[in-house]
Amino acid sequence: MTRKHQSNRWRRFDDWDNRPLRLDLFSKDDPENGFTAWKGKNDPVPNLIIEDGMVAAMDGVSSDHFDMIDTFIARYHIDIETADEAMAMPSDEVARMLVDINVPREHLTRLAHGMTPAKLADVVARLSAVELTFAYAKMRPREMPGNQGHVTNAKDDPLQMAADAAVAVALGFDEIETTMRVSRNSWSNALACCVGAAVGRAGVLFQCSSEEAEELEIGMKGFTSYAETVSVYGTEGAFIDGDDTPWSKAWLTSAYASRGIKMRCTSGAAAELLMGFHEAKSLLYLEARCLCMQRGMGAQGTQNGGIDGAPLASTIPGGVRELLAENLLAVWLDLECASGNDARHSESEIRVGAKITPYLLAGSDLICSGFGTILKYDNSFNPSSFNGEELEDFLVLQRDFEADGGLSSVEESSMLALRQRAVDALEAVLEALGLAVPTPTMKQSVVVASGSNETETFSVGDVGRISAAIQQKGITILDVIKALHQRGFCNEAENLLFLLRLKLSGDYLQTSALIRDDRVLSAVNRPNNYLGPGTGYRVSPGRLAELANIRDELDKDTVISGQAVHAAFEAKKITYRELGDYVPSSDSKEVVVAISPAFGTRLFQTLAGHSLADVLRHLRDGIEAEGMSMRVIRCWHTADTSFLGLTAARLSGTGIGIGIQAKGTAVIHQRGRLPHNNLELFSNAPITTHQHYRSLGTNAAVYARGDWPEPVIVTNNGEALGARFHARVALIYAIETAMLVADRMPQQVAITFLEDSDA
Amino acid sequence: MPDKQKMYPLSENHSDELRAANGFRIDELTMENILSDKVTMEDIQIAPETLNHQAEIAAAAKRYPLAVNFRRAAEMTRLPNELIMEIYEMLRPGRAVDRASLDAIAQRLREEFGAEKLALFLEEAAEIYTRHGVFSKRF
């Protein structure tokens, strides 16, 4: 035994160690230390005592021992009128109602308003992942799903911000969100994104995530139309360290509404765990407290589902199911839900794809509360589940499931012009307001760049000066609109003005509001009315066509025109001349090769891209190397590899034949064998090489001689050949089968090779 | 659908009546007026009446806390930006050093801005902060 076979572990573990998955951490369930999805050591048993119309005790705590959060929930969330009825219902029964298509959504939201956090958590914890998904589809507030994207970059470059915002709008995001690397750049980011988001269409809501006070200030200048970083925590300790109280956050909630700005809160599993104040309570229970508080504050919605805590929550057993459960809690409480799927919870693409699937299938007010529209390294929040890199994967998932994730493909040919327009518009604003003058090189580098590593643009210091100037000069949205219009960007100016008018109506302050085709759609005028098949949101035929429309779709014409390119080339290498019906021979030195109907007539290349002339020549060389000769026949009655091979064998003097299709699939067959019981099969045409065909010829000749050669093995590297080739195979094979003539005899074919070396 | 919900969206069903807090009409919010500097930020300040309408719509949809929030927001439209920010700062942990300062600002809201709901809200916060020691300094 040699050293190379010595090992103290099964080497599969080495393979597993090297997978991206193993970069993820996995933590043990530990209820004492807060590492538990459902059952914290100190999770209370649900209860509610009401005396004189006031909450006297809730979830095991009497009102004189309430912390601030309990007090807030008792005063502002608990609906006293519904509470007795709701709390008395068995949790199993309520859980079943959540997945019952015969129980209307309104009935369930009414009950939720009378339930304590522990009761709410107790109900949703009883649902499996598929039940949570189904209940989510039924309970989400707005009829049609939407999506939100991050637009940031590593340089806080306003030019790139504008270009990328315009791209996000074109992709169909209903909301876009920015933040910065350097906090003082917030004003520059806000202005740039605001301008970029106005390119292409009106009504995309925009926010600049910043320090609470500054974010509101930016909103008051009219740049932003929504906010969502009003963070809420499930324990008092975490809340205070977050530098707020339920009352300060409620104040902020009203403040946004008072300026016509849409607002949602942020919370999510494991935030308290990260902040060191978990009180040995479960992720779900603490999140239930957050959500009851948010409803009590009068927020129309929430961004939850882990959010920044999602990666930590996902290390815990059942953590990803818990994220689904807390999203369900949000919508059950009748809150708009931007359902997380932002901070990337895993290095494993399989885990990421699996995590998004329930949301894509169920739909969500905003499926991602931050889909990275830019490259991972440009995401100033952190890489998202899906990013610029994986955007097309998401588009294809929509197409696969015919599920509306809110996004559409963009035409490659229109993207440069769109980005140019956004950069020009921003330049106009920067110049007109005396903020900066970008050079042509800066602009050009941004227009074509995939990410900020490729740009030559403003320095981070420049951006800081632009940002400070915007703030100091007191520039407002009105100045921006004016600048755009004066410099000829009238559509963009009108798009921003449209949003200002809408702001005066307060319409998009209502639950789950977004704007499509210049109309506000929310849970008020477009409520989710799902009550089983045929109800609720259905993807329209037009939308279905949009979902199906992805880049580089294959069809028969593409395949035929692709082959036609090679026809002329092939004509210089080989001629085929049919000599009439084949006559059986008794030649003891021959191997018969049967080619398919389209071989060299309609099709000219194998799936591996080999010229068919070259393939035939390598077969011949292999056969002749063993002292045999090749005879070629063309079959018209079949294009099937096995039957081609068997026909060749039956008509061969040696009883050995080769069958080969135009796509390159080949077989060595022998007279007397069953059709699918061949001597050697070369089924993986896409990875079959010239040398393989030569060896195939050699082996056939060896069989013809009566010996047994070493079979030729075409090895693969685990490629998903079906995914890569089968659509093309089916189209090509259909060309072959369409040419069949059932009763036509195999034809003898004279082959002339016109050149003698590989092209 | 109850009548109040039928008002919604106001931008489609009641656009003629929409005005800013200062009475500026939505049909005056035109590109022409912006270009000739006839529009100020005050002219795009949502009106308390509008927020109260949205509160009625929210209540009709049984979203009572949302309605309460809109009503507080309606009062808040009368507060200048700086005062809103100042009060927010006072409500953050450890900023206001005692109950009296919150009570005083509540009184000011009541008297100066007729903001009874906001005043009550601040007084409630003052009571809770006292009970939970939120006024303690955080260095």
Choose the catalytic residue: A77, A150, A278, A692: A150
* pLDDT of A558: 87
Region at A646 (left for phi over 0; alpha for psi -120 to 50; beta for the rest): alpha
Q: Which of A257, A259, A503 sits opposite B70 (nearest CB)?
A: A257
Pick the residue of B91, B127, B134 with the most A CBs within 10 A to test the interface with A by mutation: B91
* pLDDT of A756: 58
Query: Which DSSP letter does residue A73 get?
Result: I
> A369 catalytic, yes or no?
yes
- Which residues lie across from A208 on neighbouring strands? A178
Residues 6+ apart with CB under 8 A from A628: A589, A590, A591, A654, A700, A701, A704, A705
The CA dihedral of A204, A210, A215, A217, to the nearest 10 degrees, is: -120
Q: What band does A2 get if pLDDT is binned at 50, 70 and 90?
A: confident
Q: Any idea where the domains of chain B sit in the sequence? A: 1-77, 78-139
What is the ipTM, given to two decimal places?
0.97
Q: Which two tokens stand for residue A363?
A: 């739909």
d(CA A651, CA A746): 9
Q: Which of B10, B58, B85 sits opposite A216 (nearest CB)?
A: B85
Identify the three-state secondary structure at position A753.
strand
Q: Which two tokens stand for residue A283?
A: 């992720």
Q: What band does A564 get if pLDDT is binned at 50, 70 and 90?
A: confident
Q: Report the sign of the C-alpha dihedral through residues B78, B81, B87, B92, in that order.
A: positive
Chain B residue numbers touching A500 (CB-CB < 8 A): 29, 44
The CA dihedral of A486, A489, A495, A496, to the nearest 10 degrees, is: -50
Per-residue pLDDT tens digits for A681-722 = 998 999 999 999 999 999 999 999 999 999 999 999 898 999
Chain B residue numbers touching A334 (CB-CB < 8 A): 62-63
d(CA A329, CA A282): 15
- The answer to whether residues A559 and A698 touch, using CB atoms and an 8 Å cutoff, is no
Residues 6+ apart with CB under 8 A from A552: none
Which amino acid is located at B42 in the chain?
E
Mean pLDDT score, A242-259: 96
Kindly report the number of other CB atoms within 10 A of residue A758's CB atom.
12
Residues 362-421, chain A: which have Cβ within 8 Å of B? none
d(CA A309, CA A307): 5
Per-residue pLDDT tens digits for B18-67 = 999 999 999 999 999 999 999 999 999 999 999 999 999 999 999 999 99
Choose the catalytic residue: A210, A346, A369, A385: A369
Residues 6+ apart with CB under 8 A from A488: A428
CATH class of A43-138: mainly alpha
- Which residues lie across from A149 on neighbouring strands? A176, A371
> A611 catalytic, yes or no?
no
Residue A479: closest C-alpha in chain B: B34
Q: Which two tokens stand for residue A503?
A: 């702001």
Choose the catalytic residue: A287, A342, A462, A570: A342
CATH homologous superfamily of A144-548 equals Diol/glycerol dehydratase, large subunit (3.20.20.350)
Q: Are strands A666-670 and A175-178 parallel, antiparallel or unpaired?
A: unpaired
* pLDDT of B139: 62
Which amino acid is located at A335 in the chain?
L
Query: Which DSSP letter does residue A668 get?
Result: E
pLDDT surpasses 60 at B17: yes
- Domain with residues B78-139, CATH architecture: Orthogonal Bundle (1.10)
CATH number 2.30.110.10 given to A556-753: no
Q: What band does A759 get if pLDDT is binned at 50, 70 and 90?
A: very low
In chain B, alpha helices (H): 3-6, 10-13, 31-35, 48-60, 64-76, 81-91, 99-113, 116-132
d(CA A336, CA A295): 10
Per-residue pLDDT tens digits for A628-669 = 999 999 999 999 999 999 999 999 999 999 999 999 999 999
- Which residues lie across from A175 on neighbouring strands? A148, A205
Residues 6+ apart with CB under 8 A from A475: A191, A221, A433, A469
Per-residue pLDDT tens digits for A123-144 = 999 999 999 999 999 999 999 9
Q: Any idea where the domains of chain A sit in the sequence? A: 43-138, 144-548, 556-753
Q: Which two tokens stand for residue B2?
A: 């109850």
N- to C-terminal Cα distance for chain B?
A: 53
Query: For residue A197, how many C-alpha atoms fall within 13 Å in the half-sphere facing its CB?
Result: 32
> A390 catalytic, yes or no?
no
Average pLDDT, chain A: 96
Written as one string, the DSSP assignment of A196-246 is HTTSS-S--EEEE---HHHHHHHHHTTS-SEEEEEE--SSHHHHHHTT--H
Chain A residue numbers touching B74 (CB-CB < 8 A): 258
Smallest CA–CA distance, residue B42 to chain A, in Å, is 10
Q: What band does B136 get if pLDDT is binned at 50, 70 and 90?
A: confident
User: Cis peptide before B9, with omega less than 30 degrees from 0?
Assistant: yes
* pLDDT of B137: 65
Smallest CA–CA distance, residue B61 to chain A, in Å, is 7
Sheet containing strand A54-58, strands side by side: A48-51, A54-58, A61-62
Measured in whole angstroms, the distance separating CA A517 from the mean position of its chain's CA atoms is 24
d(CA A69, CA A71): 5
Q: Greatest CA span in chain A, whole angstroms? A: 108
Written as one string, the DSSP assignment of A528-594 is ----STT-S----HHHHHHHH--SS---HHHHHHHHHHHHHHHHTTEEEEEEEE------TTEEEEE
Per-residue pLDDT tens digits for A287-304 = 999 999 999 999 999 999
Backbone angles phi, psi at A521, to 5 degrees: -120, 125
Whether chain B has a CB inside 8 Å of the CB on A497: the answer is yes
- Which residues lie across from A752 on neighbouring strands? A575
Chain B residue numbers touching A476 (CB-CB < 8 A): 41
Residue A241: closest C-alpha in chain B: B93
Residue B85: closest C-alpha in chain A: A213
Residue B55: closest C-alpha in chain A: A510
Q: Are strands A148-150 and A175-178 parallel, antiparallel or unpaired?
A: parallel
Pick the residue of A258, A519, A528 with the most B CBs within 10 A to test the interface with B by mutation: A258
Residue labelled with tokens 């109907």? A597
d(CA A5, CA A1): 7
In A583-665, which ranges are E strands?
590-595, 629-634, 656-660
Smallest CA–CA distance, residue A485 to chain B, in Å, is 8
- The answer to whether residues A36 and A278 touch, using CB atoms and an 8 Å cutoff, is no
Residue labelled with tokens 């939308």? A543
Per-residue pLDDT tens digits for A380-389 = 999 999 999 9
pLDDT surpasses 80 at A734: yes
Residue labelled with tokens 């499931």? A401
CA angle A520, A525, A530 (to 5 degrees): 120
Smallest CA–CA distance, residue A253 to chain B, in Å, is 7
Smallest CA–CA distance, residue A110 to chain B, in Å, is 8
Q: Residue A258 and residue B77: Cβ atoms within 8 Å?
A: yes
> A177 catalytic, yes or no?
yes
* pLDDT of A356: 98
pLDDT surpasses 60 at A757: no
Average pLDDT, chain B: 94
Residue labelled with tokens 């005056």? B28
Q: Which two tokens stand for residue A355?
A: 């995590």
d(CA A158, CA A197): 12
Q: Which of A717, A719, A34, A587 is nearest to A309 (CA)?
A: A34
> A342 catalytic, yes or no?
yes
Whether chain A has a CB inside 8 Å of the CB on B80: the answer is no
d(CA B85, CA B100): 19
Whether chain A has a CB inside 8 Å of the CB on B96: the answer is no
Residues 460-479, chain A: which have Cβ within 8 Å of B? 476-478
Q: What band does A561 get if pLDDT is binned at 50, 70 and 90?
A: confident
Between the alpha carbon of residue A364 and those of residues A148, A357, A358, A369, A404, the distances in Å are 11, 11, 10, 10, 10
Q: Report the sign of the C-alpha dihedral through residues A364, A369, A371, A373, in that order.
A: positive
Residues 6+ apart with CB under 8 A from A664: A606, A607, A608, A610, A615, A682, A685, A686, A688
Q: Residue B92 and residue A243: Cβ atoms within 8 Å?
A: yes
Chain B residue numbers touching A497 (CB-CB < 8 A): 29-31, 34
Residues 6+ apart with CB under 8 A from A55: A48, A49, A63, A74, A75, A78, A80
- Which residues lie across from A55 on neighbouring strands? A50
pLDDT surpasses 80 at A188: yes
Choose the catalytic residue: A228, A272, A279, A680: A228
Whether chain B has a CB inside 8 Å of the CB on A492: the answer is no
Whether chain B has a CB inside 8 Å of the CB on A69: the answer is no
Q: Residue B132 and residue A519: Cβ atoms within 8 Å?
A: no
Whether chain B has a CB inside 8 Å of the CB on A434: the answer is no
Q: Which of A371, A302, A299 is nearest to A336 (CA)?
A: A302
Measured in whole angstroms, the distance separating CA A164 from the mean position of its chain's CA atoms is 18
Q: Which of B11, B77, B87 sits opposite A502 (nearest CB)?
A: B11
Chain A residue numbers touching B53 (CB-CB < 8 A): 506
